Amino acid sequence: MGNDILHEIIAVETEIQRNIEIEKERTKERIEKVKRDAEDEIVREEDRLKESCAQALKEAAADTERKASGIIEKAVVRAEILKKFDSESLREIVMERINLILPGGKL
């Protein structure tokens, strides 16, 4: 009877060891799956961020182009106005502006 109990204990212990090994393997597989899923998610997020940045860059470039176009249009209009002035009138305007800029006023 003592031998039977010992064999049963050894059999149960062996079964426990097998179950532990099986659970270790399952745990390892789950960890690997979670790791792969996380890596995939990181790649997807990087792609999404790259796309978002590219779109933001496009929008910023378009906005800058619109603003530059507006500035150029205003400059062209002002240049057309200035073309109508004779040299002496332009010189007077420039001197007036210089006097406003210079500390203390006049040249």
The domain total for the chain is: 1
Model-level pTM greater than 0.85? no
Please give the Cα distance from 62 to 68 (Å, whole number): 10
Q: Is residue 107 part of a domain?
A: no
For residue 85, give its domain range: 2-101
Please give the Cα distance from 38 to 32 (Å, whole number): 10
Which tokens sit at 67?
A: 């603003």
Contact partners, residue 93, CB within 8 Å, separation at least 6: 85
- The predicted-structure confidence for 57-83, as pLDDT tens digits, reads as follows 999 999 999 999 999 999 999 999 888
Q: Is residue 62 part of a domain?
A: yes
Give me the percent of the chain exceeding a pLDDT of 70: 95
Q: Is residue 106 part of a domain?
A: no
| 34-35-37 Cα angle (round to 5) | 65
